[in-house]
Amino acid sequence: MEPLTEHRPVSGPVVYGFLRLVRVSQARQDALVASLAEYCRSHELQLSGVFTDRDASAGPVSAAFTGLLDVLALPDVYGVIAPALSHLGPKAIAAERGRRIAAVGSRLLLVRKPRTAHHSISRSGSVRRRHPGTTRVLDAES
């Protein structure tokens, strides 16, 4: 329990982690769990457990995800934390899992937010913006 204020200790909102780890070393798994724990500590959340999905062939309903949905139905559970949206699975599976998390009234918290636009800076300092069917190079100063 971390102090929410300097006056009294209060438990933060309860969250559960979810990791999709297919062919990942134990060291990588430990680092991801530690990053979730640190994110929760710095945002005054209480990480109560981490569900790990290791089955690449499972659809939206794997044993780990079913267990996650079960604990999300408990009272006083705020949501799910994951390092990135990709930890919910490939796009179609992640979208379905996101809908199921929202359907039980929980929030999905991502340590690393999804990218909204594809921007890159070339070595010359110009910014390239990708648009369907076109490529434009703009000076970084304009």
Q: What digits encode the pLDDT tens for the residues 90-113?
A: 999 999 999 999 999 999 999 987
Calculate the average pLDDT of the chain. Answer: 80
Q: Can you tell me the distance from the alpha carbon of 128 to that of 138, in angstroms, rounded to the nearest whole number?
A: 6
pLDDT of residue 56: 76
pLDDT of residue 135: 45
pLDDT of residue 76: 87
pLDDT of residue 136: 45
State the DSSP code for 11. P
pLDDT of residue 61: 85
What are the structure tokens assigned to 139, written together?
Answer: 């000076």
Residue range 61-74: average pLDDT? Answer: 92
Name residues whose C-beta falls within 8 Å of residue 94's C-beta, 6 or more positions apart in sequence. Answer: 85, 86, 88
Q: Can you tell me the distance from the alpha carbon of 7 to that of 98, in angstroms, rounded to the nearest whole number?
A: 37
